[in-house]
Amino acid sequence: MPIPSSAARTDFDAYLEALGRKDLLRFITCGSVDDGKSTLIGRLLYESKMIYEDQLAALALDSKRVGTRGGELDFALLVDGLAAEREQGITIDVAYRFFSTERRKFIVADTPGHEQYTRNMVTGASTAELAVILVDARKGILTQTRRHSYVAALLGIRRAVLAVNKMDLVGYDPAVFAAIERDYRAFAARIGLGEVVAIPLSAVDGDNLVDRAASMPWYRGPTLLRHLEDVEIGGDDRAAPFRMPVQWVNRPHQDFRGFAGQIASGTVRAGDAVRVLPSGRDSRVARIVTGDGDRDEAIAGESVTLTLAHEVDVSRGDVLVACGAPLEVANQFEATVVWMHEEPLLQGRQYLLKIGARTVSATVAPVKYKVNVNTLDEVPAERLELNDIGVCELGFDQPVPFAPYAENRTLGAFILIDRLTSNTVGAGLLHFALRRSQNIHWQALDVDRRVRAAQKRQRGCVLWLTGLSGAGKSTIANLVDKRLVALGRHTYLLDGDNVRHGLNKDLGFTAQDRVENIRRVAEVARLMADAGLITLVSFISPFRSERRMARDLMPPGDFFEVYVDAPLAVAESRDPKGLYRKARRGELANFTGIDSPYEQPEAPEIVIDTTALSPAEAAERIVAHLEQAGVLAASPADRTP
């Protein structure tokens, strides 16, 4: 490889320096499928001279092999990198591309048009400042046009370009363009997209992308590229109060302890007074450390490490804020959720929620409504299906510092994660803390769990029996209860049927009702165990997620999952209540094992094979396990008067 000359290196350094001085616009292209998003971006890359010769040669070959232009250059192939996209001529994943002009740098996200990939569009829009909404001039405004526009507005994008594409296919008719623009502006006004610039285009021919099109002399506005270069971007985040989520505690040796993160807003200087949230501890900034050495000042968007003057406890997920302008801290919120998974969002089910660098457990209750993206009507709903957008109330298991998303994207955005699979299933935006969360506090009690357990000479715990209907859960639980009482132990048995006569009599047997059924019982079981009781729970409890939720309510080692294992054929042959027969005849819907799933435990503490053990033998095995686990630590007869 030849060594570049000093002059060449100087020119390259000058180029990099000039590039660094340009501001950056992040934008997305979105709209319905086959509206020409990838073609538009590919053409922009081509016209802005951002395609190398080898890329152009490869594009020519690909265009002949898999292109949709009859052998002519198919600019969409510059963006559609997945094989499935090229085969179908559509965009599936989010494709990010960088290009620049003399005046500005750009990062564009090409987002998919199909409804099932709305989650990908959310990803692309989350960091964008402007949306290019493409519309096929032949089709006009479609449902997906409205959906993507609504999501863009929801995610804080306030500037949009209505790119009416494929004008060549409607004879460059200005009346077609005017009608589409009129319809879209009416919709945009309703969703808060206040700054809309409409541009007629033919992406495949490059009309009105970089240069004005002779085919549309009636259009007097800017070309797309000129508008992207001129549009005002960004806000003055530096003028907002200082906020920095802590992403990493930097401790390379015992003499240095710093807190690293990207400044979400404001300016910080050495000596500034700061507060750590949610703990509320105050300190001041001792040093601002960067890769280029210490700084006197750092601003929004910069990633730095701060050291503090005092030894205060700071962890990943905490937020450093200006003392004079602290954030709210709360654990109950109203939020908008975009649901991204085939399995629906269910009220009462727990999910992991990641906000900034902090992960908490969150419960959705209730879903207030979902939005009809065509009419913008608020439709009553109890669950959210794939691609639904709804407003919910969320309860966290711990307080978090936050800002409404409308004020700060970093501190108001979150994702929901399935606890079992670790899949991201939803994304959301916090609106405000619920007032009741500010009025409810934990009351300190002198008589606690430890004292109550010592009084009873046993350890309060939950013994959770799960299995199919007819497996023998209630019979075994009853025998265990009798055996423990005979030993002088303090117990209580929560049975599925009995609880549905009172506490849960308002619940049916849908998946959502089953989730709420278990949530309520788990909370009651927790309170009983806190009172020092050995609490037996006998419920089908078919879903792993809810059994995991019940386990997480208890201290480690105080929850025992008992899988009462009976094959479906065996359970059905017993059928003491005749429920299987009704389900087989179609008289009983959502019956576990027939038309509703049962998810077997993955790692239960105890497995009872009811084809090998009698109920009495099963009960003895469970009691023996409790003894080995130290639950029955001492005999009540040994109690000191």
Cβ atoms within 10 Å of 513's Cβ, excluding its own: 18
Nearest to 105 by CA among 229, 10, 192: 229
Would residue 541 show up in a list of annotated catalytic residues for this protein? yes
Taking the C-alpha atoms of residue 242 and residue 150, their distance in angstroms, rounded to an integer, is 30
Backbone angles phi, psi at 431, to 5 degrees: -95, -60
Residue among 201, 197, 195 at smallest CA distance from 164: 201
Residues 6+ apart with CB under 8 A from 91: 37, 38, 79, 80, 85, 110, 111, 112, 113, 117
d(C-alpha 524, C-alpha 535), whole Å: 10
CB 372 within 8 A of CB 190: no
Q: What are phi and psi of 313, to 5 degrees?
A: -80, 115
Strands of 527-600 (E only): list them. 534-538, 559-565
Q: Which residue in 541, 596, 614, 635 is the catalytic one? A: 541
CA distance 99 to 27: 12
One-letter amino acid at 495 equals D
Q: CA 111 to CA 43: how far, in whole Å?
A: 16
In angstroms and rounded to an integer, the radius of gyration of the C-alpha atoms of the chain is 31
- 593, 589, 562, 622: which is closest to 470 by C-alpha? 593
Report the sign of the C-alpha dihedral through residues 209, 212, 214, 217, in that order.
positive
Q: How many CB atoms lie within 10 A of CB 417?
A: 18
Instruction: State whether residue 527 is helix, strand or coil.
Output: helix
Look-up of token digits 């927790």: 526
Which residues are registered as beta bridge partners of 537? 464, 494
CA 308 vs CA 13, 61, 225, 366, 508: distances in Å: 37, 59, 46, 41, 55
Beta carbons within 8 Å of 126's beta carbon, 6+ residues apart: 155, 409, 413, 427
Q: Which residue has the tokens 């506490």?
A: 503
Burial class of 621 by CB neighbour count within 10 A (0 to 12, 13 to 18, 19+): middle
- Could you tell me where the DSSP H helices lie in 69-161? 83-88, 118-125, 143-154
Q: Which residues contact 615 (CB under 8 A, 6 or more apart)?
A: 472, 475, 476, 479
Alpha carbon distance 456, 533 (integer Å): 8
Positions marked active-site: 541
